[in-house]
Structure 1
């Protein structure tokens, strides 16, 4: 079984020969190497490019350790470029090369060099694409498999089977391919410990690794909850009986985000049209890793569904924030008071905007009103949507608010436009 990853392959094909460094980012084991070294390589071969003009270097392979030296890598690539025809340079895990920016910049002005690199660290790649390449870097972010990609590869699974597997084990390709649920769980646990945690600790020279792991447990237990470093510091004291400063907590959170393990969603004041500095929310890039961290003890479908929706929106290219709507209401004494109510997601892409609520179920009129209340108080005409777990026919109410099922949202990439 294989996964087509057509969305990402199409992007690579569209960005060929654009005189930019194509930087493929994403968390470890999300499929970056497969995309570049198998799917894109096969595409090039299918277009008649011979092996002599495809320079592939897996820098994570110990056999290529010598090429982690920037000068050795430059010499190797230069030695391979023996004529004026186009050469495709494919480098995997380029952040392992010291001063890799200089290496990549060396090929920006060579007309017959088309460069593609992968990396698993936003600190080394995303930020450096902006600062070092000065607009000459082109980032393509690869996410774990989406439910739609798994459905395409495994059509024999009905929706309930697919959702249950995704709810528990997420979308890392080797997790999906594992034969049994036991194998999936064991793979995720080992991956978390031996790859992600080890990588974060070694890269950032973390000394108090036990405290960092306690913080990771707290974050894992509270996906989709509003928080900030000071609040987490207080929680840390109450749960572990030891202190960790808000400054250190922020540093650790940045480490998690730089490894693409988690993503931070900022709060946005919809009426005031401004960002609110704190608190904010954290979501896991792969829900299976989050569950493995907690030994699969906290499978809260409400919060996991919200996390999955967040990831899907990011995958579709939206910039996703947590919305805040300020309203005025009368209290029990009849006094006018200001309140802030939350919209789960404010999604922007160019001139498009959607407001989205995640609701596991709407079992009563009161619950319906609770979910619709923030959307009804948004003073603009952008589309407003409630996503529920039930597989329902899409419907609109008198306010124009759309309610759709999770299945339709996840499996139909154009669902928001319906």
Structure 2
């Protein structure tokens, strides 16, 4: 049975803002462990001497809290429990279930004795009223599925190619590890359909659920490929699912807002500009992608590429793909003034594969680190290009 493990990287980032007049917003797809992080923060507060009466915890997905989806009632509920002349620690899980929730947060924050922590499974909540009304007064921390290191700890496994493939196949959702293949499929199916129906169809008032499922399937089959809404619409229309590029664009945005997908834009490495046409789409959780293609590992290189994308984003990098005179770099990772280039392949022991992967690196006329990632255990570093084994990359302590 899986245990609950601490996630110090997230806890330290959240705790750094504790006590400040900033609303702490934890975002991420359903079941990545946001609620567990809120519980761990509460336990930490109790250990520091905060009284239970100072902690107000509300999970908006529990049936008994359904009346609180009315923001007036939520505000009254919290107001009655506030301790005067003391700091109050307010935790609201899945806050987007409350219509006009930002009014509640804004009013509580103005009181000066409320430290507020909320979670949400839809990024649109930060791009609308919350951002407008609380400009500069909130901090967003996106929570990702378990990293390889966390997966090993959670399931008490040793590092190695076998556990790496298990993590890629199973995914990093906390409850997914250790399940039988049938139970895993049922669990992932439940999450996938909840995200589609509750976070996308109901919220966006989409009417064509079958099209949304066809699009998800298409994306799962095409991770790491450069694709456009028009290309997808043409493909689905030819397969008998008539649609338009505008509809596909709207559906893609909704899948991103529900944290199901990580779109990666293409950038011209010479002109430093972003290309408008074509993006790569990766799944935030490799397990969900595997569920959608029937659980088989038929394209290990692309699955590894998906996992590297999520890992770089987990470490706080902005990620794009790179183009240098028509030669493609899998990932350009940027954090402040730091830039790193990455190529990902299952193996580059074959000379033709090695040459293909390093050719873009050799063309780039700058001195930023160029890193070739593969499962090969031999050190193939050469010509200023650093080769790193993927196991070592995923086990790094960098956050």
User: Cα RMSD between the aligned structures?
Assistant: 1.6
The yes-or-no answer on 1:372 pairing with 2:373 is no
Deviations 1:263-315 (A, max 9, x none): 11011101111111111110000111111122224642111000000000000
Unpaired stretches in structure 1, ≥5 consecutive residues: 327-339
Q: Secondary structure at the match of 1:206?
A: coil
Unpaired stretches in structure 2, ≥5 consecutive residues: none
The yes-or-no answer on 1:60 pairing with 2:61 is yes
The yes-or-no answer on 1:217 pairing with 2:203 is no
2-structure distance, mates of 1:161, 1:198? 35
Go from structure 1 to structure 2 and tell me whether the alpha carbon gap of 1:129 and 1:314 turns closer, same or farther (over 3 Å shift): farther
Q: Secondary structure at the match of 1:396?
A: coil
- The 8 Å contact of residues 28 and 196 in structure 1, kept in 2 or not, is answered as no
- The 8 Å contact of residues 87 and 114 in structure 2, kept in 1 or not, is answered as yes
Offset at 1:247? 0.3
Offset at 1:404? 0.4
Go from structure 1 to structure 2 and tell me whether the alpha carbon gap of 1:161 and 1:185 turns closer, same or farther (over 3 Å shift): farther
Q: Secondary structure at the match of 1:379?
A: coil
Q: Secondary structure at the match of 1:280?
A: strand
Offset at 1:259? 0.5
The yes-or-no answer on 1:290 pairing with 2:274 is no
Go from structure 1 to structure 2 and tell me whether the alpha carbon gap of 1:51 and 1:148 turns closer, same or farther (over 3 Å shift): same
What does 1:149-160 align with in structure 2 at a 5 Å threshold?
149-160=150-161
Q: Secondary structure at the match of 1:23?
A: strand
Q: Secondary structure at the match of 1:189?
A: helix
- The 8 Å contact of residues 169 and 297 in structure 2, kept in 1 or not, is answered as no
Q: Secondary structure at the match of 2:347?
A: coil
Give the length in aligned residue pairs: 397
The yes-or-no answer on 1:309 pairing with 2:308 is yes
2-structure distance, mates of 1:127, 1:388? 41
Partner of 1:201: 201
1-structure distance, mates of 2:271, 2:291? 39
1-structure distance, mates of 2:209, 2:154? 39
The yes-or-no answer on 1:385 pairing with 2:387 is no
Deviations 1:34-71 (A, max 9, x none): 110x2111111111111100010111101011111111
Offset at 1:126? 4.8
Deviations 1:145-201 (A, max 9, x none): 11011123344334223212112111000102x442332222112322244444321
Q: Secondary structure at the match of 2:373?
A: strand
Partner of 2:164: 163
2-structure distance, mates of 1:195, 1:320? 24
Which deviates further from its counterpart, 364-373 or 141-150?
A: 364-373
Offset at 1:237? 2.1
2-structure distance, mates of 1:128, 1:358? 39
Partner of 2:14: 12
What does 1:249-398 align with in structure 2 at a 5 Å threshold?
249-297=248-296, 299-326=298-325, 340-393=326-379, 396-397=381-382
Structure 1 residue runs of 4 or more that deviate by more than 6 Å after TM superposition = none
**TM-score (structure 2 length as normaliser):** 0.96
2-structure distance, mates of 1:195, 1:310? 21
Q: Secondary structure at the match of 1:88?
A: strand
Partner of 1:406: 390
